[in-house]
Structure 1
Amino acid sequence: MTKQSSLPPLRLIAASALVLVLSGCATFSQDGGLDSVSALTKERTGQDVRLPKATGNADPAREELARLMKSPLSADDAVRVALLNNRGLRASLAGLGVAEADLVQAGRMSNPSFSFSRMSGGGETEIERSVIFDLVGLVTIPIRRDIEARRFESAKLVAALDAVNLAADTRKAWFRAVAASQSTRYAEQVREAAQASAELAQRMARVGNLSALDQAREQAFSAEATAQLARARHNATAAREQLARLMGVWGEHTAFQLPERLPDLPAAPREATNIESLAMQQRLDVRLSKVDTESTARALGLTKATGFINVLDAGYANASKSGTPRENGYEVELALPIFDWGGARVAKAQSLYMQAVHRTAHAATVARSQVREAYSAYRTTYDLSKQYRDEVVPLQKKISEETLLRYNGMLASVFELLADARTQVTGVNAAIQAQRDYWIAETDLQAAINGSGGASVSLGASSAAEAAPEH
């Protein structure tokens, strides 16, 4: 509907000034949310997140990456390379710009619409002009900005969660790669011992000092040791490539160096003191669920506010006819709630809110369960690795020494000596696997407390007796 009257110039100026002020409040931040993501990541991993510069020679991030790749990588170094170089993480960080753009857009008023009409006939010409503003959009700018601000916070949490998960995956891949390389070297020793035993058996069989059955057993063991070495080498290559993918390296950087052995066990394990409450405070996925619920609740308020009236436009209008003075006034357009009273939109928003509430409660329940499971795996793998280090490996070494004494005293055959050497190497290899499992479980525990939960761990039997065939 349109009403013709004079529009005071002062009101028009005040309305224009209000629009300019509200539009001017919406600006982009200098860091694009990266500082918050970096702080959240550093709090949980000890390392920040930085993006290499697009141009320029003096780039600290690239210089740090080149320096790290020149020396053997520690677990922390590998994580640092991944946070600097992984393109998947960069794609996640680019999502911050999308969320911030939505925030800035929400703080800006919709562009006014301009209409023009011209009608002529009977020697007369009538011209109408109008400029229409979205009043509902203007009034709801603070609410929409608040909603998008919460979504921007959600985007920061998502990016930080991706960074923390990347750090945990990279750390576990590093432990697997080092352990696989270390196991390969012991598999080579087993094959060498098996080949020596097979060659000796062949020589003794030629002179009639060994039965065909015993010779066949030694040759079968040698063939099996060769096959195990081939599998070990492939596993080492696969573990190394997995680490390379997470670090995002290619070309000459794929020739990175790793230490020869895993880190030693800590002196004592971590106690399970308040790990559940700590997870409720630190878990990024739980915090993300809470922010999403708050954002949904705020959106419910907006839906209720605009459920009855969601179209209200007003603006300046004038009309002129041939031979008559120009007429000025204003125009108001209101959507009449005849067919749609907004009840369906409000009901949908309420259902979305309850859905978010239940998801948050579910995330908290899952987080508590995951942290309990992760601690069980952590403590069990620590005890197993310590048992291998303090009992199994020293006992096998003692057995090997006694066997050597019996061989020197001509109380044991050379085949018993070689078989014992193979068993000892296999036991050491099992100790390496137990030590690797501990460090992976320790990383999963940190992820269960700080990130989005560690992977489920099922510990299988792994002993020297089971790893080596009977002989």
Structure 2
Amino acid sequence: MMRHFFLNGRAIAAATALAFLAGCTTFSRDGGFNTVSTVASERLGKDAVLVKTDEDRETVAKRTQELLSKPLSMDDAVQIALLNNRGLQASYGELGISEADLVQAGRLPNPGFMFSRTQGNGSLSINRTFTLGLMSVLTMPLATRIESRRFEQTKLLAADAMLKVAADSRRAYINAVAAGQSVAYTGQVKDSAEAGAELAQRMQQAGNVSKLDYAREQAFYADAVAQVAKARQQSVSAREKLTRTMGLWGAQTQYVLPERLPDLPKTRPELNDLESFAMLNRLDIQAAKLQTQRVASSLGLSKVTRVINAVDVGYQNNFTTSDGHQQGYQIGVEIPLFDWGSAKVARSEAIYMQSVNRVAETAINARSEVRESYSAYVTDYDVAKHYRDDVVPIRKAISDEMLLRYNGMLASAFDLLADSRDQVGAVNSYIDALKEYWLAETDLQQALGGRLPPLAMASAPSAPTTQAASPNDSEGE
């Protein structure tokens, strides 16, 4: 015997209303990535992309090739990293996960259907029941708000991850260019040491130099050879780190770096109220605040459902041969006999206090990082400026005077070679100081949320990527 189950008009209206509510939460067109791309554009002046299709990959490959077709600048390195860094692309996956949780929270639970058919002693019984989790429906608006805040938090964290990759690429670029520049200057020291060693050998054979002076020149040359090998390996390591940060492989790794770091800016902009600026701009602080708000909302949800967290409402339509059709409803309620939800509430409160302290810790650490990075920024600028304006010019003046003395036969060839090495050493020290300044500026930008204050950026002079690091081009003169 077959029986058909029909919903009455009221049930149909209710089902239609539920279906309408279920369709209110949908996936966004950008998947939450607009926050990341906006931050990249406003704070870095760069493009952030989410690579999902073959067309996206082709576009990225074409843009990367265009940037690699010329000597790589610092800005180009940052842009390439934002396009190709696979770890960054993986972190963007959190956006899809979080949005899926948000959409799921905004959808009604699927109803349940139970059917049974029994027959015996000439009697037939058919039972059909539809059930729906009522508590899930009642708490759906609050659950949606919680997941909405989590989604906003995930957007900020994804943007913050993008800023960190940009900062890492800047550091890797600075170290790679400085390492290559150090190889050149270390090679000059080695050439000077080699000339001194050959001269000492000829003079020792002629009996015009002591064994001690001969041994000193040979020892210096041996050490210079080792320093060149060490500098070359450091250059390879720094370049490979930059390559990894930019996500390059194959023929792309044959990019060309400039010979010198950007020049030191002529003036250092005055930066004020940096801590307040960081509090407003750092994305990790904003994300931590959203985390606390989300946990607070979750605590409210826990208190709502602490006693009754499972209510099932069902509609029944049964049939028996003896009694005919029977219609009705059923309600299933979890009885809080052993668990009154106190542990759930206590856990939520502990998580909330943990989140509050995390926000405070993030803010305190951020302020400290700003002070520390600004101190390094100021100090490294002053040190680099000191080398540029004082040390290197003095070393050049000494070298010029030594050359005059040598021409007047008042100084030996060994004195001239030693002075040349000292001058190259001073220039090399300036390179190190210049590298530390650019690294310090990068650290300060990251501590402030990815950029310096707008007034500072407007007043700071542009830094060309191919200008000489030595202000007087005194490369071992």
- TM-score, normalisation: structure 1: 0.92
Paired with 1:452 and 1:131, the residues of 2 have a C-alpha distance of 58
Amino acid at match of 2:159: A
Match of 2:475 in 1: none
Match for residue 149 of structure 1? Answer: 148
Whether 1:328 aligns to 2:318 is no
Question: How many angstroms does 1:318 deviate by?
Answer: 1.6
Which is worse superposed, 110-119 or 293-302? 110-119
- Corresponding residue of 1:133: 132
Q: How does 1:176-325 map to 2 (within 5 A)?
A: 176-325=175-324
Q: How many equivalent pairs are there?
A: 447
Q: Secondary structure at the match of 1:332?
A: strand
Matched, 1:441 2:428: no
1:43 match: secondary structure: helix
Task: Tell me if 1:24 matches 2:45.
Answer: no
Amino acid at match of 1:197: G
Asked if structure 2 preserves the Cα contact closer than 8 Å seen for 1:296 and 1:353, the reply is yes
Indicate the residue corresponding to 1:416 in structure 2. 415
Contact 1:284 1:451 in 2 (8 A): no
Note the C-alpha offset of 1:451: 5.1
Deviations 1:288-343 (CA, angstroms, capped at 9, x unpaired): 11010011011111111111111111121021112432111111111111111111
Measured after TM superposition, the shift of residue 191 of structure 1 is 0.4
Taking the TM superposition and a 5 Å limit, the aligned residue runs for 1:39-78 are 39-52=38-51, 54-56=53-55, 59-78=58-77
The one-character-per-residue Cα deviations of 1:81-126 (angstroms, maximum 9, x if unpaired) are: 0000111011011111111111111111111111122333322222
Write the distance in 1 (CA, Å) between the matches of 2:49 and 2:7: 54
User: Equivalences for 1:373-412 in 2 at 5 Å?
Assistant: 373-412=372-411
Question: What residue is the counterpart of 2:463 in the other structure?
Answer: none
1:333-358, Cα deviation, whole Å (9 max, x unpaired): 11111111111111111111111011
Give RMSD over aligned pairs. 1.7
1: CA distance, partners of 2:50 / 2:72: 21
User: Cα distance 1:185–1:22, how it changes in 2: closer, same or farther (>3 A)?
Assistant: same
Counterparts of 1:413 and 1:62 in 2: how far apart (Å)? 58
Structure 1: give runs of 5+ residues left out of the alignment: 1-6, 454-471
SS state at 1:450 partner: coil
Shift of 1:13: 2.0
Identity %: 51
Q: Do the aligned partners of 1:127 and 1:319 also contact (CA within 8 Å) in 2?
A: yes
Letter of the aligned partner of 2:129 in structure 1? Answer: S
Q: Secondary structure at the match of 2:54?
A: coil
CA distance in structure 2 between the partners assigned to 1:362 and 1:58 by the alignment: 40
Q: Taking structure 2 as the reference length, what is the TM-score of the superposition?
A: 0.91
Unmatched segments (≥5 aa) in structure 2? 1-5, 453-477
- Report the residue type matching 1:342 in the other structure: G
TM-superposed CA distance for 1:155, in Å, is 1.2
Give the aligned residue type for 2:97. V
Give yes or no for contact 1:74–1:258 (8 Å, CA) kept in 2.
yes
- Kept in 1: contact 2:109–2:133 (CA 8 A): yes
Q: Residues of 2 paired with 1:169 and 1:111: CA distance?
A: 46
The AA in structure 1 aligned to 2:128 is: R
When residues 38 and 276 of structure 1 are mapped into structure 2, their CA distance, relative to the original with a 3 A threshold, is same
Measure, in 2, the Cα distance between the counterparts of 1:34 and 1:286: 19
Partner of 1:172: 171
Match of 1:464?
Answer: none
Residue type of the alignment partner of 2:126: I
Does the 8 A contact of 1:300 with 1:350 survive in 2? yes
CA contact (8 A) 1:170 1:247 kept: yes
